């Protein structure tokens, strides 16, 4: 039995058409005659197409004046395109064929000729240098420009329907963190806690995230981006967690250092510094605030540990596919963005790799019309985890 056309489309077609109008206008402003997009985020954002075979060669084509895009994907994804997107023009390639040759034919059909401009997402994980070289050879005299930022800028500002998905994703992340706290105790292996988190997320309805769960206990917390291992958690260990919930490809992460038992005085001091940095940043999070200022005040709050600040204070959270959910804006001094209603970002200051440990604290924040809202329900006081039997 076949699914009906568009049966698994996540948004009404009107939402996609609204996005497409703004996207075409931005392409025109960049002087682009033909757009060829390889980022699955933009394929999804503009059409609903939700590809699972990300390793397949697939491209989305659009001109500023065209009514609808053209999608080129592998035959394995043909039915997926039919039920997840509103597209009518889906071109198919299969094994044994050269999809780049088909790409050249589509670009020619769309009017790419010497003297015109082709917009490519040069920062995409999925656009191979070999593909770009072949396009340059096939279209001498065509100007190629990077339009990665066109979609990234547009996706920063979420619609009410997108925010609803972000809320669901944040709720899943809360479930994951609650599960981590429930099963964290001395004598348990990291991978066993991880198994409980993964089960809880899946049982709640969370989809696969764009980044796997990060977890490291004791000295492994100092690795910052450690994956769960078979190390046994010891009494008093700091344990760094980064847990992501996902709904309709919208990802929401929550980061927290928990302590298995009672925290040492040193850990308590670091906790006070890091949480103080978070609240200093949150206090000024409202429309009109330069994102660099948020980074600056969180760094000021951690100035005594300046050598152990590993990264920016945060980054945009949104629609995302592997390998990562990082979006715009960077919560970093020097970034020129200012906060606007509808933006969602992770604010997660840390003191990391300090004497072999990391203490981190973070939530996803939604910028509202007159301020900001934390999307998660996890208690900000969750830190020391003492088993009920202790």
Domain ranges of the chain: 13-155, 160-385
Query: pLDDT-based confidence at 390, cuts 50/70/90?
Result: very low
Predicted pLDDT at 370: 96
Average pLDDT over residues 41-57: 95
Contact in structure between 209 and 195 (CB atoms under 8 Å): no
Contact in structure between 382 and 243 (CB atoms under 8 Å): no
Predicted pLDDT at 172: 98
Predicted pLDDT at 67: 82
Domain 160-385 part of CATH 3.30.360.10: no
* Residue 356 pLDDT > 90: yes
pTM (whole model) above 0.85 = yes
Q: How far is CA 237 from CA 23, 178, 242, 260, in A?
A: 49, 18, 16, 5
Question: Residues of 8-29 as b/e, b for ≥16 C-beta within 10 angstroms?
Answer: ebbbeeebbeebbeebbebbee
**What percentage of the chain exceeds 70 in pLDDT?**
99
The mean pLDDT of the chain is 97
What tokens were used for 224?
């910052």
pLDDT in tens, 166-215: 999 999 999 999 999 999 999 999 999 999 999 999 999 999 999 999 99
pLDDT in tens, 361-381: 999 999 999 999 999 999 999
What tokens were used for 85?
């997107």
Q: Report the CATH number of the 13-155 domain.
A: 3.40.350.10
Predicted pLDDT at 364: 98
């Amino acid at each position: 039995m076949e699914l009906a056309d568009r049966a698994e489309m996540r948004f009404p077609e009107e939402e996609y058409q609204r996005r497409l109008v703004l996207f075409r206008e931005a392409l025109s402003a960049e002087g682009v005659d033909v757009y060829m997009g390889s980022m699955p985020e933009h394929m999804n954002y503009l059409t609903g197409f939700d590809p699972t075979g990300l390793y397949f060669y697939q491209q989305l084509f659009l001109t500023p004046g065209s009514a609808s895009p053209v999608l080129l994907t592998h035959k394995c994804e043909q039915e997926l395109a039919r039920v997840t997107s509103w597209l009518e023009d889906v071109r198919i390639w299969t094994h044994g064929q050269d999809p780049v040759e088909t790409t050249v034919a589509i670009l020619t059909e769309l009017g790419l000729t010497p003297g015109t401009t082709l917009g490519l997402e040069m920062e995409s994980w999925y656009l191979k240098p070999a593909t770009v070289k072949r396009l340059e050879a096939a279209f001498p005299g065509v100007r190629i420009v990077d339009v990665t930022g066109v979609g990234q800028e547009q996706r920063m500002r979420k619609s009410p329907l997108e925010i609803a998905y972000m809320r669901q994703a944040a709720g899943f992340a809360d479930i994951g963190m609650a599960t981590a706290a429930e099963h964290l105790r001395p004598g348990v292996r990291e991978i066993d806690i991880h198994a409980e988190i993964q089960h809880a997320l899946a049982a709640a309805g969370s989809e696969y995230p764009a980044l796997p769960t990060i977890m490291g206990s004791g000295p492994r917390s100092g690795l910052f981006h450690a994956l769960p291992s078979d190390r046994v958690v010891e009494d008093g260990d700091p344990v760094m967690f980064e847990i992501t919930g996902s709904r309709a490809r919208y990802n929401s992460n929550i980061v927290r250092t928990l302590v298995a038992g009672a925290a040492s005085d040193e850990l308590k001091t670091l906790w006070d510094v890091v949480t103080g940095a978070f609240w200093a940043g949150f206090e000024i999070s409202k429309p009109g605030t330069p994102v660099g200022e948020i980074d600056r005040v969180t760094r000021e709050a951690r100035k005594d540990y300046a050598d152990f600040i590993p990264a920016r204070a945060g980054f945009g959270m949104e629609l995302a596919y592997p390998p990562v959910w990082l979006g715009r804006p960077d919560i970093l001094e020097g970034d020129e963005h200012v906060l606007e209603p509808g933006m969602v970002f992770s604010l997660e200051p840390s003191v990391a790799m300090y004497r072999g440990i990391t203490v981190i604290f973070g939530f996803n924040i939604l910028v509202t019309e007159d301020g900001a809202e934390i999307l998660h329900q996890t208690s900000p006081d969750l830190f020391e985890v003492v088993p009920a039997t202790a």
